[in-house]
Chain A
Amino acid sequence: MLVKFFATYRQITGCKTCDVPAPGSVLALMEDLSERWPEFRDLILNEDGTDKGDDVIIMVNGRHIEHLDGVATKLTEQDYVAITPLVAGG
């Protein structure tokens, strides 16, 4: 499953994308990524690790997880996920 990283998260991962085996859910993916890159933990997960952090945007197949099932959104190998810190422009 493809995971894309945007903005300053690329400085943590050192890559723009990575391929990972599809975990059961978005939350499981967040946990996997936090194990791989411990700096991620406090950025993408909330304090008790039960939900995403306030300042991260997570999209599955281009849809914000807020409009899917949140961090419980199921993932398959065909899905792609994008993770970005909260940024803005215009």
Chain B
Amino acid sequence: MTRGNGWIGTILRVNLTEGTIKKEPLNMQDAKDYVGARGLGTKYYCNEVDPKVDPLSPENKLIFMTGPLTGTAACSAGRYEVVSKAPLTGTIGAANSGGHFGPELKYAGYDGIIFEGKAETPVYLHIDDELVELLPADDLWGQGVHPVTEALEAKHGKVHVATIGRPGERMMLYAGVMNDKNRAAGRGGMGAVMGSKNLKAVVVRGTGGVKVANPEKFMEEATKARTMLRAHPVTGEGLAALGTEILVNIVNEVGGLPLHNGRDGSYWDKADDTSGERLVETHLVKNQGCFGCTIACGRVTKIEGRGDLDGFGEGPEYEAGWSYGAACGVNDIGAIVKANFICNEEGMDPITLGSTVACAMELFEMGAIPESDIGFPLRFGDAEAMVKLTQMCADGEGFGNIIGLGSYRLAEKYGHPELSMSTKKQEMPAYDGRAIQGIGLEYATSNRGGCHVRGYMISPEVLGLPVKLDPQVTEGKGALLKTFQDLTALCDSTGICLFTTFGIGLPEIAGQYREAVGSDETDEEILLKGERIWNLEKRFNIEAGVEKDTLPPRLLREALPSGPAKGKVNELQTMLADYYAARNWTSDGIPTQEKLDELNLTY
């Protein structure tokens, strides 16, 4: 029975140690204050888990959480969040995914799932409406994402599956949770936490629905948002036709595409070989959308006529196209597509993996990693070595296990931690913070380490959405980033896709939220929930002992050698001061008591 306000009203608590399953009422006060998905999952997590917990221990918990718009007719409302402490970073980990799994969970009658403890032997959770049971997964253990998904579909019929691959079983630090085969809650190692609990998969089938508080007004808001998305050149045409990889040439043009682990600047004369335009010409089969999405940015791709590289799957997205492309200096787009396939098939974060290979290439070329450790030469531009190392990482073979540590631990092991292009031990994605100042600030302040989707400053700095800011200046970036971070936290928490924000804004997000949950809050009051979520995440990180906000020395001290931003470094300290002031935090980046009181943030 649904509550009729976007929520079902029930969460599952699964204790894997004891093998027990309880159905609990959703905490509606927290749902009101923290919206859902990322925010609500984090609130549940902070309520129940010590920030100092070892993320791979049975004492840690793993939360799957939907939002109040997930599974409704709101625009692109197929999202859910996986929340835990991230083993890669030690920060709060919240990884967002699309596909159909989130809506199906709600249709089965559950807003979220809290996993506790550790199963003695491998299990999976099977949900079929009222029926919820833990079943043995011994025969699935040791298999990749696609065969596991197919086996569970064959056994249980029309279900949606979230699972881990073999790296997740081995608790590889950036293993992701994959649902509907190729959709990823990818960053920070949520799959490793799942593997630490001997939990192989969650299988769900639901036949119910989700009711909203004011159906007629809600449909008006949803229709308005969908109409705006269809009419916008980015969300109505560009993303479907060309996918996210289309950004390669544009970011390269402004000199912001990090080349060779950032060693050789951020302008690449071979960028077009790896571009979205090239992907369309060479590998695209069709585009594809998640649940209820009018944007349909997904890339269904195949590789033919390349022998061992041949395959069929999805992607790459822009970030993976960069990590395996410019970061590694590889302009063989077939190899890039293949490496991304391996990541999807085994549940590994391709941003971190490709970046770690790039870091290893730099360490090898400078002589810090002997060839005997790797087993073969590993130079920038070597597509074959890149794909081989990705497969070795999936297989847990040889040097692949070192790559599986991520670039920070790799570079530290070989005496050069400064060459990890990461913040808080998570790799920064495909934009150079020297050429694009605000994205550097975003990487430094992101609550889950290097990440582009915690406040996408590329929108104003490169694309001019919603306003055009000069990427090379620092003025105004701190305050705008704060707003972007808060809005992103809100958007992620509602259960709609962040990509909608290319075409709609706070009024449309708040409008759909308001009519779904039955609220009379203003847009500003609703945005304040995003700020509350951001501060909650920050508080967790402080209590977990996460290091302060900064960037790798390369971005702060090594001036770009070429391109439109030649001579630039990131002016982080200037922007940080503005950012902390905008947040009403101390000059050391600590939320003030006044701010916490204003947000009524307690836990």
Decide if A36 is an interface residue (CB 8 Å cutoff). Answer: no
Partner of A63, one of B238, B243, B319, B564: B564
Bits for B296-324, please: 1 = Cβ < 8 Å to A, else 0. Answer: 00000000000000000000011100000
Partner of B452, one of A82, A84, A90: A90
Q: A7-B276, A90-B452 in contact; A85/B233 too (CB < 8 A)?
A: yes
Alpha-carbon separation in the docked complex, A27 to B368 (Å) = 52
Which residues of B have CB within 8 Å of A7? 238, 242, 246, 249, 276-277
Alpha-carbon separation in the docked complex, A10 to B280 (Å) = 12
A87 touches B247 (CB 8 A): yes
Partner of B247, one of A55, A61, A88: A88
A89 touches B244 (CB 8 A): yes
> Chain A interface: which size bin?
20 to 34
Q: Is the interface of B mostly helix, strand, loop or mixed?
A: helix
Bits for B84-112, please: 1 = Cβ < 8 Å to A, else 0. Answer: 00000000000000000000000000000
A59 touches B253 (CB 8 A): yes
Residue in A closest to B502 when the chains form the complex, CB atoms: A88
Most buried by B among A55, A61, A88: A88
A90 touches B499 (CB 8 A): yes
Alpha-carbon separation in the docked complex, A59 to B468 (Å) = 13
CB-CB contacts below 8 Å: A54-90 with B: 55, 57, 59, 61-64, 66-67, 82, 84-90
A57 touches B463 (CB 8 A): yes
CB-CB contacts below 8 Å: B241-263 with A: 241-247, 249-250, 253-255
Q: A7-B276, A62-B253, A66-B468 in contact; A87/B238 too (CB < 8 A)?
A: yes
Query: What is the number of contacts between chain A and chain B, taking CB atoms within 8 Å?
Result: 99
B468 touches A87 (CB 8 A): no
B563 touches A86 (CB 8 A): no
Alpha-carbon separation in the docked complex, A6 to B267 (Å) = 16
Which residues of A have CB within 8 Å of B502? 88
B564 touches A62 (CB 8 A): yes
B391 to chain A, nearest CB (A): 27
B464 touches A90 (CB 8 A): no
B276 touches A88 (CB 8 A): no
Decide if B456 is an interface residue (CB 8 Å cutoff). Answer: yes
Alpha-carbon separation in the docked complex, A33 to B384 (Å) = 42
Bits for A1-31, please: 1 = Cβ < 8 Å to B, else 0. Answer: 0001011101000001000000000000000
Decide if B578 is an interface residue (CB 8 Å cutoff). Answer: no
B564 touches A87 (CB 8 A): no
B464 touches A64 (CB 8 A): yes
Q: A63-B564, A82-B253, A84-B249 in contact; A90/B468 too (CB < 8 A)?
A: no
B272 to chain A, nearest CB (A): 7
CB-CB contacts below 8 Å: B326-360 with A: none
Partner of A89, one of B239, B254, B563: B239
A62 touches B254 (CB 8 A): yes
Alpha-carbon separation in the docked complex, A59 to B563 (Å) = 13
B464 touches A8 (CB 8 A): no
A86 touches B499 (CB 8 A): no
B162 to chain A, nearest CB (A): 23
Q: A16-B272, A57-B463, A57-B464 in contact; A89/B564 too (CB < 8 A)?
A: no
Decide if B581 is an interface residue (CB 8 Å cutoff). Answer: no
Which residues of A have CB within 8 Å of B317? 89-90
B253 touches A10 (CB 8 A): no
Decide if B151 is an interface residue (CB 8 Å cutoff). Answer: no
A88 touches B254 (CB 8 A): no
A17 to chain B, nearest CB (A): 10
Decide if B1 is an interface residue (CB 8 Å cutoff). Answer: no
Which residues of B have CB within 8 Å of A62? 253-255, 267, 563-565
A90 touches B250 (CB 8 A): no
B299 to chain A, nearest CB (A): 11
Which residues of B have CB within 8 Å of A64? 254, 464, 468, 470
Bits for B60-102, please: 1 = Cβ < 8 Å to A, else 0. Answer: 0000000000000000000000000000000000000000000
A63 to chain B, nearest CB (A): 6
Decide if B582 is an interface residue (CB 8 Å cutoff). Answer: no
Which residues of B have CB within 8 Å of A89? 239, 243-247, 276, 317-318
B233 touches A55 (CB 8 A): yes
Partner of A86, one of B453, B458, B463: B463
Residue in A closest to B563 when the chains form the complex, CB atoms: A62
A4 touches B238 (CB 8 A): no
Most buried by B among A6, A66, A84: A6
A6 to chain B, nearest CB (A): 5
Alpha-carbon separation in the docked complex, A67 to B436 (Å) = 14
A88 touches B239 (CB 8 A): yes
A88 touches B468 (CB 8 A): no
Q: A8-B241, A82-B253 in contact; A88/B465 too (CB < 8 A)?
A: yes
A57 to chain B, nearest CB (A): 7
B255 touches A86 (CB 8 A): no
Alpha-carbon separation in the docked complex, A10 to B499 (Å) = 24
Residue in B closest to A6 when the chains form the complex, CB atoms: B249
Decide if B483 is an interface residue (CB 8 Å cutoff). Answer: no
Which residues of A have CB within 8 Å of B267? 62
Which residues of A have CB within 8 Å of B243? 89
Bits for B440-467, please: 1 = Cβ < 8 Å to A, else 0. Answer: 0000000000001100101100011100
Alpha-carbon separation in the docked complex, A64 to B424 (Å) = 32
By Cβ-Cβ distance, the 7 closest A-B pairs, closest first, are A62-B564, A89-B244, A89-B247, A87-B238, A89-B318, A88-B234, A55-B233
